Amino acid sequence: MTGYHAPLPSLLSRPAQAGGSAVSDPGLDRYGSVILAKRNKTVVAQGQPADYVINVVTGALRIVRLLPDGRRHISSFLLPGDFFGLTESAQYTQSLEAVADTTLIRYPRRSLETLLRTNSTANRHFFNLLCAQLTSTQEDLLLLGRKNAVERLASFLLALAERASPGSPQPQAVDLLMKRGDIADYLGMTVETVSRILTQLRSRKIIDLPTVNHVVFLKPGALRQLCAASA
Amino acid sequence: MTGYHAPLPSLLSRPAQAGGSAVSDPGLDRYGSVILAKRNKTVVAQGQPADYVINVVTGALRIVRLLPDGRRHISSFLLPGDFFGLTESAQYTQSLEAVADTTLIRYPRRSLETLLRTNSTANRHFFNLLCAQLTSTQEDLLLLGRKNAVERLASFLLALAERASPGSPQPQAVDLLMKRGDIADYLGMTVETVSRILTQLRSRKIIDLPTVNHVVFLKPGALRQLCAASA
DNA sequence: CGCTATGTTGACCCGCGTCAATGACCGTGG
DNA sequence: CCACGGTCATTGACGCGGGTCAACATAGCG
């Protein structure tokens, strides 16, 4: 992982997780350091002082929590435009690891706090971002609390497609940037089950798997049925 | 459910979920309506326009989501000081129901937005509130994704105790305001399992259940072991 | 008192985890 | 160019934790 000081075109120049409008903010950008993290590198570790906020520029990352006995859980995947480290706590409660080679910008938390105080547009933007993150985390709670393995996988695939091209009516396909173990730890299951369900969906002609990490939606409607969306 | 217009002593006069400092704000209070909701009353229903933000004054509530086939999930319980309805979406994505008789204050979302724009202390307070809520929801993700039934119940009981008296070193006891079915739907299990695990903990002399909804911690240390806290 | 909602307990079963074997892929070195 | 080793995905056999179904107990409440 390398870090060097550099101003960047603009904070939030990419679509944020909330899908909000872009906010150009040279005032924060000047404090950001660009960080390159290779696949599987830990960008921040659980327990470190939460002194920075991180914005994903390219690549993909996973937010990881570990139980003392080694059980692992992934609370979310981060894609370009997403943020990590918006917390009120003094330490990070979870680790951030690169799923693929990644470009990040790291801002001192102080700079962000200043920005939030002085720039009302940015303030509002981050507020919405947090609200959206909360809503999507609650969606995941429902998924883990009440859905079975097929429903989880269906929901996951559709959510990935939605993030790749927001608002698209009929998703065509998605690339799985992460490996099976990551999917399993995100959905609260095992690699074996993830694999089994994927082949089941393939044999039911609902999806196709031309390569291991490319999923083609053959029957997006059937997938949507399967994910047991909220009433 | 009754609603009448009334100014109140102060917004946030009670400890908020984040445990942040109280914020006196007569500017918002004048817009709040007091609402009394009896046990099992639905205060807001999933799908309604999200025009209000709600602050709990007394009682307890559950935030509920339903799947089309009737499966139910509770994403959290609200206690005095907690807020509901901080969302960027136009509709509520979940219902709010009273677990016990409850007093609430309902603020128009516009008032809150004005407050956030004009009062930087309140802005910061709500920002921290959202961050804390996100962190605690992520904790629940780990619980639902990776913990077994005993660990879930242990975590739940300790979390309840912590909310009842924050920072207390050795929790003594908690009152369960909600019924078994609510606990089950919160922890992603069934009433039967909740019941079985409670009697198991009782027979192991880790807790006692002098009445159905009063839990006494006989061995808080053992409970803490059981909850498999993060490494 | 009896009626209904809620909680407990037991017997059985099934979805998914566990364990193990095999196969596909890929980078490395001879 | 191919042999080799490591990582990752798939598939099968089996077992268990917790869900399901049913009976019973208990507690509010008219």
B192: the nucleotide nearest its CA (via C1') is C8
**Per-residue model confidence (pLDDT) at position A31:** 77
**Per-residue model confidence (pLDDT) at position B4:** 43
Whether pLDDT at A8 is above 90: no
- B223 with B150: CB under 8 angstroms? no
Q: CB contact, 8 Å: B65 with chain A?
A: yes
The single residue listed with the structure tokens 């006692």 is B208
**Per-residue model confidence (pLDDT) at position A205:** 98
Of B131, B134, B146, the CB nearest to A137: B134
As a whole-number percent, the residues of chain A with pLDDT over 90 amount to 82
CA dist B52 → A113, A129, B8, B92, B113 (Å): 27, 19, 17, 10, 11
Whether pLDDT at A34 is above 90: yes
pLDDT band at A24 (very low <50, low <70, confident <90, very high): very low
Mean pLDDT of B51-71: 97
Best interface-test mutation with B: which of A64, A67, A227 has the largest number of B CBs within 10 A?
A: A67
CB contact under 8 A, B127 and A132: no
Tokens linked to A155: 């929901």
CB contact under 8 A, A65 and B142: yes
Of A65, A88, A147, the CB nearest to B230: A65
Q: CB contact, 8 Å: A13 with chain B?
A: no
Who's near A27: CB < 8 A, 6+ residues apart? A115, A118, A119
Q: CB contact, 8 Å: A141 with chain B?
A: yes
CA distance A148 to A125: 35
What residues of chain A lie within 8 A of the CB of B231, using their CB?
46, 66-68
pLDDT band at B107 (very low <50, low <70, confident <90, very high): very high
CB contact under 8 A, A73 and B145: yes
**Per-residue model confidence (pLDDT) at position A28:** 62
Query: What are φ and ψ of residue B219, in 5° steps?
Result: -130, 80
Question: What number of C-beta contacts closer than 8 Å exist between A and B?
Answer: 147
As a whole-number percent, the residues of chain A with pLDDT over 70 amount to 87
Taken in order B182, B186, B191, B196, the sign of the CA dihedral is: negative
Closest CA relative to residue A174, chosen from A117, A217, A222, A127:
A217
Mean pLDDT of all residues in chain A? Answer: 89
B177 Cβ contacts chain C strand, under 7 Å? no
**Per-residue model confidence (pLDDT) at position B27:** 54
pLDDT band at A14 (very low <50, low <70, confident <90, very high): very low
Mean pLDDT of B87-102: 95
Whether pLDDT at A18 is above 60: no
**Per-residue model confidence (pLDDT) at position B230:** 78
- B200 with B190: CB under 8 angstroms? no
Residue A181: which H helix or E strand, with range?
Answer: helix A180-187
**Per-residue pLDDT tens for A102-161?**
999 999 999 999 999 999 999 999 999 999 999 999 999 999 999 999 999 999 999 999
Mean pLDDT of B11-24: 39
If you measure CA to CA, which chain A residue comes closest to B140?
Answer: A141
Of the ranges A20-29, A188-197, B14-23, B91-100, which one carries the lowest mean pLDDT score?
B14-23
Whether pLDDT at A87 is above 90: yes
